[in-house]
Structure 1
Amino acid sequence: MRSLDAARETCEKYHPGLCQALAGVPLAERESVGGPVIEMFRKHDGVGLLVPAEFNGSQAGALSAVRVMRGLSSYSPSLGAAVCMHHFTAAMLYSLAAKTDRLSPAQVDMLNKVVTDGLLMASGWSEGRTNQNILLPSVTAVRDGEDWVLNGSKKPCSLSGSMDLLTASVALTDETGQTSLALALVPASSAGISIKPFWGTPVLAGAESDEIRLDAVRVPDELMIRTRPDDPHRLDDLQTAGFVWFVMLITSVYTGAASALAEQLLTKAKGSSTDRAAVLVGIESAIAQLEGVARRVDDGLSGDDAVAAVLVCRYAIQTALAAATDLGVELLGGTAFMGSPDIGYLSSALRALAFHPPSRTSAAEPLLDYFAGGPLQLS
């Protein structure tokens, strides 16, 4: 499959040998709890993909990044979902490193260690709460001397078992009672951090998406990155950088899973040529839209316009992948479905794109307001 070959070639460029290593492990093992894929990723220079060159990273652009993620996710959607969290965190934090007034020396020092020490960063933004503002976290932090004391939980939180650093959105309450949003950089070895089972399905189980609990976890003030909110429903520079990258990268993960199914259909030549072409057209149109947005981000698209563009792309692809894979699984046939668990697994895994925040429903009104000329206010 031409587009998938290109994605895998890009993955090979940045992570030599990773695709071959993944291909040598059965899909069921790649996707299982405790599987080898996350450590494979770490050993194949995975952590530095979006890290700038001055921090010893690969400094990949958005287009290369979505191709890398599509390529590795075609072998392991679990790995793609897990490392998406590391990558979008890296994109967010290092974008702030270029602004001299946004990060403290301690924060910069920690970022300097990510590539040299092979550190994986888990992202604690999601909290598994329905009908809640995704920008208002439930984890709280109160000041105690030079530290902040964190309490609450993050679930699901991918890379929970392999993380070296937890980046967690928190609601700060200062001495005056004022509350603001911040991002805490928390070493995984900190006292008070515990991991509890949360992910109950075998689909994407290899992503280590469990609950991380924080019980009186102390974080120095110098490791707390504050946002600059004018409105708690608006994204600031910290959130925008992460949000755009997250939506692009997570969409590429499921596009990779769908591409793996399409590749099987193309190889086995099942069904009529018209129907097979319809499946591939659906997948290729999704890839083209995703890469188009990535190119726009590489060209400088930012702010509300970037967030709206990636959301439109994500929701359109969500619909396109479902339709294309439904037909693709049908064409592969019942015998193929019964003969191998891989087809059913990939078909199920790519459905999870619909579950990532923000949901289509919660984003509908904000997008309509944006399309009408107003600001984009997510809830």
Structure 2
Amino acid sequence: MILTDAYASLDNFLPGLKEKLASQNFSDNEAEHSPVISWFKDSGGCRLMVKKCYGGLELTPWQGVLVQLGLGALSPSLAIGAGMHQFSIATLQEMAKTSTGLESLLLEAIAKNDLLVSSAFSEGNTSKSILKSQIIAKPSGKGFIVTGTKKPCSLAHDMDLLTASVRVEPEDTDPYFAVALIHKENDGVNVEQFWDANFLKASQSEAVKLNEVYVPHSMLVNVDENMAYHAHICGFVWFELLTTASYLGMVYGLVDEAKKRGRLCDQETVAAYIKLDTGALALKAITYDMHDQTQDTLSQVLACRYHLQEVLTQVTAQVMEKVGGLNYIGDNYFSSIAQTIHAFNFHPPAKHSMLAPLAAYYDNQPLVMV
């Protein structure tokens, strides 16, 4: 069973974490000051997807999906936070293929010192491209002054490093795209409350404000347009894959919990698992063809994600009907999961924004991200 495999993956790659998550109730795990992110870090989660050549475990994509499924089933907030770290690692490793070496050194440090990495690569602003950074870097002496805000930014409190796409604005040349690598302890890095929803609080999705943060030349990587677009494609493949796995895991956990409480009969349980397993197997097929992330890979994972948005909503509604109103009202677990599943629709890129680009792609034109 896929959920069983997911839990086994947690035991294998994050020893002790599942027991810690089970040691306190769901509400405490998901609370604003929950320790789940630090537990993930302490159990070795930071190095899971880092390649062995940098000192990491180098999980396969499918192993990474199973870990996210298991985390989603046990702690939705942790799954979202962990997924952001793993997405950041994937982006750094893609950049390391063509860089001068800074990313390689950082990846080695991440694996050796269990550093947690967050990302400021896209901003959820209506009618603005998620590929156009709102964070500005201006040359200053032997470095750059970086100013801007990323909200929401998961892992805001516990992150050690922030990777941020920036728009460099020189005085005498055209602006260009770059990636800044910023230590959380740098002067001018501030975290402000942003997440007011009563779910996913433990993911630490707050506002990270960069107020004239000095970044030396050595910590800012220039990225040419072609490489930047390819890095974005690869990054989005990983982001969509891990995010989809996280929400799929949440609904696996919901079905499992409802079954344990005797709220689902065998027929209802099997019907739910068939729908969830179909989605998981689609993700598995994608992971086995991820040696090179291309537009085809991205279109496949987006199709899987958008399909599962509908499937997970349907399964959640069907299970909640069987759970009943008293359990929904009296148990924070059920009401929290029901609300959380809707957040799946809001992760970039939203389905409505990609309909025209996907229509062009299905008409044998290039897939253009928005």
* CA distance in 2 between partners of 1:23 and 1:66 (Å): 21
Shift of 1:269: 4.0
Structure 1 counterpart of 2:312, one-letter code: L
1:368 aligns with 359
1:77 aligns with 76
* CA distance in 2 between partners of 1:301 and 1:278 (Å): 35
The secondary structure found in structure 1 opposite 2:179 is strand
User: Which residues of 2 match residues 33-44 of structure 1 at below 5 A?
Assistant: 33-44=32-43
User: Which residues of 2 match residues 213-228 of structure 1 at below 5 A?
Assistant: 213-228=209-224
Correspondence for 2:106 among 110, 126, 131: 110
Structure 2 portions without partners, runs of 5+ = none
TM-score, normalised via structure 1 length: 0.94
TM-score, normalised via structure 2 length: 0.96
Correspondence for 1:122 among 102, 118, 123: 118
Structure 1 portions without partners, runs of 5+ = none
1:187 aligns to 2:221 (yes or no): no
Contact 1:148–1:221 (Cα < 8 Å) also in 2 = yes
Query: Which of structure 1's runs of 4+ aligned residues deviate more than 6 A?
Result: none
**CA displacement, residues 166-195 of structure 1 (integer Å, 9 cap, x when unaligned):** 101111123433122221100111111111
* CA distance in 1 between partners of 2:339 and 2:277 (Å): 20
Shift of 1:96: 2.9
User: Which residues of 2 match residues 291-302 of structure 1 at below 5 A?
Assistant: 291-297=284-290, 300-302=291-293
1:263 aligns to 2:259 (yes or no): no
* CA distance in 1 between partners of 2:104 and 2:315 (Å): 44
Contact 2:259–2:265 (Cα < 8 Å) also in 1 = no
Structure 2 counterpart of 1:117, one-letter code: N
The secondary structure found in structure 2 opposite 1:47 is helix
**CA displacement, residues 222-270 of structure 1 (integer Å, 9 cap, x when unaligned):** 222233215xxx9623222211111100111111110111112333343
Structure 1 counterpart of 2:26, one-letter code: L
The secondary structure found in structure 2 opposite 1:143 is strand
Contact 1:244–1:307 (Cα < 8 Å) also in 2 = yes
Aligned residue-pair number: 370
Correspondence for 1:307 among 298, 303, 326: 298
The secondary structure found in structure 1 opposite 2:138 is strand
* CA distance in 1 between partners of 2:56 and 2:39 (Å): 18
2:45 aligns with 46
The secondary structure found in structure 2 opposite 1:302 is coil
Contact 1:143–1:173 (Cα < 8 Å) also in 2 = yes
Shift of 1:273: 4.1
Structure 1 counterpart of 2:42, one-letter code: K
Shift of 1:147: 0.6
Task: Please identify, of 74-83 and 263-272, the stretch whose mean Cα deviation from structure 2 is larger.
Answer: 263-272
1:9 aligns to 2:8 (yes or no): yes
1:151 aligns with 147
The secondary structure found in structure 1 opposite 2:74 is coil
The secondary structure found in structure 1 opposite 2:45 is coil
**CA displacement, residues 271-321 of structure 1 (integer Å, 9 cap, x when unaligned):** 554433322222222222222222222xx2422111111111110111110
1:332 aligns with 323
2:238 aligns with 245
Shift of 1:28: 0.5
Correspondence for 2:279 among 271, 286, 308: 286
Contact 1:30–1:206 (Cα < 8 Å) also in 2 = yes
* CA distance in 1 between partners of 2:149 and 2:264 (Å): 48
Structure 2 counterpart of 1:342, one-letter code: Y
Please provide the CA RMSD for this pair: 1.6
* CA distance in 2 between partners of 1:106 and 1:307 (Å): 27
Contact 1:140–1:172 (Cα < 8 Å) also in 2 = yes
Shift of 1:47: 0.2
* CA distance in 1 between partners of 2:265 and 2:29 (Å): 32
Structure 2 counterpart of 1:196, one-letter code: E
The secondary structure found in structure 2 opposite 1:182 is strand
* CA distance in 1 between partners of 2:68 and 2:134 (Å): 30
The secondary structure found in structure 1 opposite 2:288 is helix
Contact 2:92–2:103 (Cα < 8 Å) also in 1 = no
Shift of 1:348: 1.3
* CA distance in 2 between partners of 1:273 and 1:70 (Å): 22
Shift of 1:5: 1.1
* CA distance in 2 between partners of 1:86 and 1:287 (Å): 21
1:176 aligns to 2:172 (yes or no): yes
1:321 aligns with 312
Structure 2 counterpart of 1:67, one-letter code: L
Identical-pair percentage: 29
The secondary structure found in structure 2 opposite 1:218 is strand
The secondary structure found in structure 2 opposite 1:217 is strand
Shift of 1:107: 3.5
Shift of 1:54: 1.5
Contact 1:227–1:238 (Cα < 8 Å) also in 2 = no
Structure 2 counterpart of 1:370, one-letter code: Y
The secondary structure found in structure 2 opposite 1:253 is helix
1:229 aligns to 2:225 (yes or no): yes
Contact 1:170–1:184 (Cα < 8 Å) also in 2 = yes
